[in-house]
């Protein structure tokens, strides 16, 4: 029998999606599930984006340019300029989600066996992207005690070898919700310049910053222009996860020219989704003001509720819409499955994402879960109530 590739066998399962079969089985039994496991906002997509698709006059659904619509890239560059970033349309390649942008970045700057340093916990799919690219992740552990702030720069420097090509950062962080300060971003920039490394910044949650905190982009540091690669997406900003439109941004012309070869190989990003994404750029600031107000309320509700549960420790996020919670269990993976298979309260339960999959260091984060606060007030309150009851029952049974 033909054999599956080593790369395929090494490809990790998604800690977010691997529990789906258990959830589907629970749903078929009539159980209601509050989904805290996935970053699918319930915020309404801007009407202008939806209208642009509804009211199109396209007769032939054709390819776009491999880099994406020129009109969209021009408009997107203006959006970045308005946030203080010196980005031009030729610095942008439109991609099929931020995921493809990350794959293009890894393909453009690394060879098999090269290394990328990432503070952990980190977005679980970085493990998969690294495996697909033949790249080794060198993790630096963060701590829930300081809300997963940037580890000491000396820890990064200890890991740098001749195989190190980049530092990868998610800002604000998924799964931690940590928002890096200007000083932290500058420290990474100085380190990258010292060792001639790229900094790849996943900034898809850039609009989600709370309590007056400001997002500091890697693209805002002029001296890092040739080392900086930014990944962005419409998924979270406009609640358009299904559009699958992202972008790769860099002032480094070699990076863009190389990434374009990957873009040409996959032909083009989806046409209708680009139409919606371009129209979304006209979304008024009032939309974001309301969204930030709503997520700030949800964050406070969730964190305050979790802190009241005996044995639970939670890192308070300043951005994105996730938090890491440490639970009084030994195996959060087992607990997450048990919630779906064996537990119910009034025929309801919750679904969480075990956090071990957000680490690459073995046996780390085993008692942690990522919770996405993307549900309305009543559903979050009920979810907290269910979690508290579930932990008590799980402890009794185990």
132-161 residue pLDDT tens: 999 999 999 999 999 999 999 999 999 999
pLDDT above 90 (res 231): yes
138 backbone φψ class: left, alpha, beta (φ>0; ψ -120 to 50): beta
User: Looking at the structure, do residues 292 and 222 belong to the same domain, yes or no?
Assistant: no
Q: Is residue 55 in some structural domain?
A: no
Whole-number Å distance between alpha carbons of 72 and 105: 21
Residues 292 and 335 in one domain: yes
Residue 178 falls within a domain, yes or no? yes
Question: What pLDDT is recorded for position 40?
Answer: 86
Co-location of 271 and 340 in the same domain: no
Mean pLDDT (whole number) for 39-46: 90
The reported pLDDT for the residue numbered 375 is 93
Whether 353 and 370 have beta carbons less than 8 Å apart is answered as: yes
- The answer as to whether 196 is a domain residue is yes
96 and 79 within one domain: yes
301 and 334 assigned to the same domain: yes
Domain that includes residue 321, residue range: 6-44+286-397
Q: Are residues 66 and 208 in the same domain?
A: yes
Rounded CA-CA distance 228/222 in Å is 10
- Same structural domain for residues 183 and 101? yes
* pLDDT(289) > 80: yes
Closest-CA residue to 284 (of 41, 39, 47, 42): 47
Per-residue pLDDT band for 39 (boundaries 50, 70, 90) equals confident
Domain boundary among 250, 280, 310: 280
Q: How many CA atoms lie within 13 A of 224 on its CB side?
A: 27
Say if 50 falls within a structural domain: no
State the CATH number of the domain containing residue 343.
Answer: 3.90.1150.10
Query: What is the arithmetic mean of pLDDT over 251-278?
Result: 98
One DSSP character per residue, 262-300 reads HHHHT----HHHHHHHHHHTT--HHHHHHHHHHHHHHHH
> Which ranges of the chain would DSSP assign to H, the alpha helix?
6-10, 20-28, 47-54, 70-82, 97-109, 125-133, 153-159, 182-195, 253-265, 271-280, 285-307, 332-341, 377-397
The pLDDT of 5-21, averaged and rounded, is: 86
More confident residue, 296 or 15: 296
Rounded Cα distance, 354 and 192, in Å? 32
pLDDT at 71 over 80: yes
Question: Which pLDDT score, from 0 to 100, does residue 53 have?
Answer: 94
pLDDT at position 17 is 76
Is pLDDT at 16 greater than 80 in this prediction?
Answer: no
Indicate the pairing of strand 32-35 with strand 92-95.
Answer: unpaired
230 and 371: one domain?
Answer: no
- Indicate if 236 and 369 belong to the same structural domain: no
Query: 213-230: per-residue pLDDT in tens?
Result: 999 999 999 999 999 999
Domain boundary among 249, 265, 280: 280
Residue 362 lies in a domain: yes
- The model's pLDDT over 117-137, given as tens digits with 9 standing for 90+, comes to 999 999 999 999 999 999 999
The span from the CA of 347 to the CA of 214, in Å, is 42
Q: Please tell me whether residues 130 and 195 are part of one structural domain.
A: yes
The band of 15, judged by pLDDT with boundaries at 50, 70 and 90, is confident
pLDDT tens-digit readout, 271-286: 999 999 999 999 999 9
* Pair (171, 152) in one structural domain: yes
Together in a domain, 292 and 261: no
Is residue 41 over pLDDT 90? no
Q: Please say if the pLDDT value at position 18 is more than 90.
A: no
Residue pLDDT, tens place only, 169-210: 999 999 999 999 999 999 999 999 999 999 999 999 999 999
- Alpha carbons 316 and 183: distance in angstroms, whole number: 20
Considering its fold, how many domains does the chain have in total?
A: 2
**What is each CA distance from 372 to 27, 284, 363, in whole angstroms?**
20, 25, 23
Residue 52 placed within a domain: no
Cα 221 to Cα 199, 209, 216, 218: the distances in Å are 11, 19, 9, 6
| Residue 372 β-bridge partners | 322
Residue 233, pLDDT score: 98
| 147, part of any domain | yes
The CATH number linked to 235 is 3.40.640.10
In a domain, 54, yes or no: no
Q: What is the pLDDT of residues 356-395, one digit of tens each?
A: 999 999 999 999 999 999 999 999 999 999 999 999 999 9
User: Of 253, 280, 307, which residue constitutes the final position of a domain?
Assistant: 280
What does the angle CA 348 – CA 350 – CA 351 come to, to the nearest 5 degrees? 140
304-363 pLDDT, tens digit per residue, is 999 999 999 999 999 999 999 999 999 999 999 999 999 999 999 999 999 999 999 999
């Amino acid at each position: 029998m033909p054999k599956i590739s080593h790369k395929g066998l090494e490809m990790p399962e998604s800690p977010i999606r691997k529990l789906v079969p258990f959830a589907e089985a629970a749903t078929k039994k009539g159980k209601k599930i509050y989904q805290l496991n996935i970053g699918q906002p319930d915020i309404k997509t801007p009407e202008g984006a939806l209208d642009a698709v509804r009211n199109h006059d396209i007769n032939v659904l054709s390819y776009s340019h491999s880099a994406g619509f020129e009109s969209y890239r021009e408009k997107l560059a203006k959006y970045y300029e308005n946030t203080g970033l010196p980005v031009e349309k030729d610095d942008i390649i439109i991609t099929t989600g931020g995921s493809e942008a990350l794959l293009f970045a890894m393909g453009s700057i690394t060879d098999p066996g090269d290394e990328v340093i990432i503070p952990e916990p980190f977005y679980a799919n970085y493990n998969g992207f690294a495996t697909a690219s033949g790249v080794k992740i060198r993790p630096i552990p963060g701590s829930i005690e300081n809300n997963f702030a940037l580890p000491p720069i000396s820890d990064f420097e200890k890991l740098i070898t001749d195989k190190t090509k980049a530092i990868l950062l998610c800002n604000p962080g998924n799964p931690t919700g940590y928002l890096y300060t200007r000083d932290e971003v500058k420290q990474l920039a100085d380190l990258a310049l010292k060792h001639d490394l790229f900094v790849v910044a996943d900034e898809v949650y850039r609009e989600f910053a709370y309590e007056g905190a400001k997002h500091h982009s890697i693209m805002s540091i002029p001296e890092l222009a040739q080392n900086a690669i930014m990944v962005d997406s419409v998924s979270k900003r406009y609640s358009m996860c299904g559009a699958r439109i992202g972008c790769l941004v860099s002032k480094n012309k070699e990076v863009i020219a190389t990434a374009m070869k990957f873009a040409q190989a996959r032909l083009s990003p989806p046409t209708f989704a680009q139409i919606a994404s371009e129209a979304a750029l006209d979304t008024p600031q009032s939309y974001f003001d309301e969204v930030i107000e709503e997520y700030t309320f949800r964050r406070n509700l969730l964190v305050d509720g979790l802190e009241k549960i005996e044995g639970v420790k939670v890192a308070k996020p300043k951005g994105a819409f996730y938090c890491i919670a440490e639970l009084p269990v030994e195996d959060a993976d087992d607990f997450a499955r048990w919630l779906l298979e064996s537990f119910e309260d009034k025929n309801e339960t919750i679904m969480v994402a075990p956090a071990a999959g957000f680490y690459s260091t073995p046996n780390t984060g085993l008692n942690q879960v990522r919770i996405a606060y993307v549900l309305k007030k009543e559903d979050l309150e009920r979810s907290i109530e269910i979690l508290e009851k579930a932990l008590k029952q799980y402890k009794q049974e185990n």
